[in-house]
Amino acid sequence: MSQTTPLPRPAAPAARRELPEAPFLAAARGERPARTPVWFMRQAGRSLPEYRALREGVPMLDACFDPEMLAEITLQPVRRHGVDAAILFSDIVVPLKAAGVDIDIVPGTGPVAAAPVRDLAAVKALPELEPEQVAKVADGVRLLVERLGETPLIGFAGAPFTLASYLIEGGPSRNHEHTKALMHSEPEVWHELAGRLADVALTFLRAQLDAGVDAIQLFDSWAGALSERDYREFVLPHSAKVLAGVAEYGVPRIHFGVGTGELLAAMRDAGADVVGVDWRIPLDEAVRRLGGRAIVQGNLDPALLHASWPVLEAEVRRIAEEGKAADGHIFNLGHGVLPGVDPDVLTRVVGLVHEL
């Protein structure tokens, strides 16, 4: 499909759990819950010994398509840390893999595409994603809805720019040179690719929402490599298509990227209810850049989870205080949990945030 072709609408959004007491959902609506909610990006992962034991010998993408395994991994940090939200164990390339794109997650490297996509023929050869191709992910969501009790579940997808970057570069990139060159030199090819990837992300999110997730997060991990002008011209319309395409479900929509301090207003303008903020700017400054009215998520530097407790405690307190400038604040990291973090430290941070 091109970027102008609307996807078929679901017949009706599925009924989802009523969670009136969930602090995460209250904060995401701009309310003031009894405690500041906290969850961590990559909270389900290599920092947990129970995760490493379960995943031993199982490739990452295989785990993402195993309903029982993905459900168990998603539940692990909820049990251990007492976080206020679970995030579905998955990866941003899961819908590409499901659709039939030759892409894999290489240990120590990240997503790697077998054949970079750099011309119109390659773009048009990309397969579309059908909902049944991610049925196992949806099955995992249904298991989680049954098992999570009062804890909300966040679904997610990769934003079109970040997905496109992996496909164009062939894997992770420091400079995104091929991506930027394609954007500017062949904008029609770029918009065709980004439009198709918006369709992929939207189909993936709708499958999760129909299965019962309570919120969604759109990860534009590498959008910080762009100027605001380029973001608004080349990226915002496609991310807006994704976020608008799930609006009918009435759940909070979070938008997050790394190094996006200069893009916060643009990312909000794409249709976010909650703007994720990385660790590079204070939350009260982020709120100022967002016009003084915003719901924000963030933004402890993940590296500081390795610091001494007095240092870490002071940082948590500072961020919680700065978050009061927002209409709502969800405490999180400014990116994901690093693999070598002591999980007991994460549990201690959750306890501290809940006390503040």
Q: Please give the positions annotated as active site.
A: 42, 46, 55, 91, 166
* Residue written as token pair 């990866």: 91
183 Cα distance to chain centroid: 23
Smallest Cα–Cα separation from 215: which of 34, 33, 39?
Answer: 39
Ligand-binding site membership of 317 (annotated): no
Q: What is the DSSP letter of 249?
A: G
Spatial neighbors of 316 by CB under 8 A, at least 6 apart, are 300, 331, 349, 352, 353, 356
CB 94, CB 63: distance < 8 Å: no
Spatial neighbors of 142 by CB under 8 A, at least 6 apart, are 211, 212
DSSP for 55-112, written as a single string: HTT--HHHHHT-HHHHHHHHHHHHHHH--S-EE----TTHHHHHHT--EEEETTTEEE
Ligand-binding site membership of 91 (annotated): yes
Spatial neighbors of 333 by CB under 8 A, at least 6 apart, are 40, 41, 279, 298, 299, 300, 301, 302, 305
Tokens for 227, please give them: 């100027």
Ligand-binding site membership of 221 (annotated): yes
Smallest Cα–Cα separation from 271: which of 221, 216, 352?
Answer: 216
What whole-number distance in Å separates Cα of residue 110 and Cα of residue 113? 10
Ligand-binding site membership of 335 (annotated): yes
Ligand-binding site membership of 147 (annotated): no
Ligand-binding site membership of 46 (annotated): yes
DSSP for 132-167, written as a single string: GGGHHHHHHHHHHHHHSTT--EEEEEE-HHHHHHHH
3-state secondary structure of 300: strand
Ligand-binding site membership of 166 (annotated): yes
Smallest Cα–Cα separation from 225: which of 266, 179, 185?
Answer: 179
Please state the φ and ψ torsions of residue 162, each to the nearest 5 degrees.
-65, -40
User: Which residues participate in the annotated binding site for substrate?
Assistant: 42-46, 91, 166, 221, 335
User: Which residues participate in the annotated binding site?
Assistant: 42-46, 91, 166, 221, 335
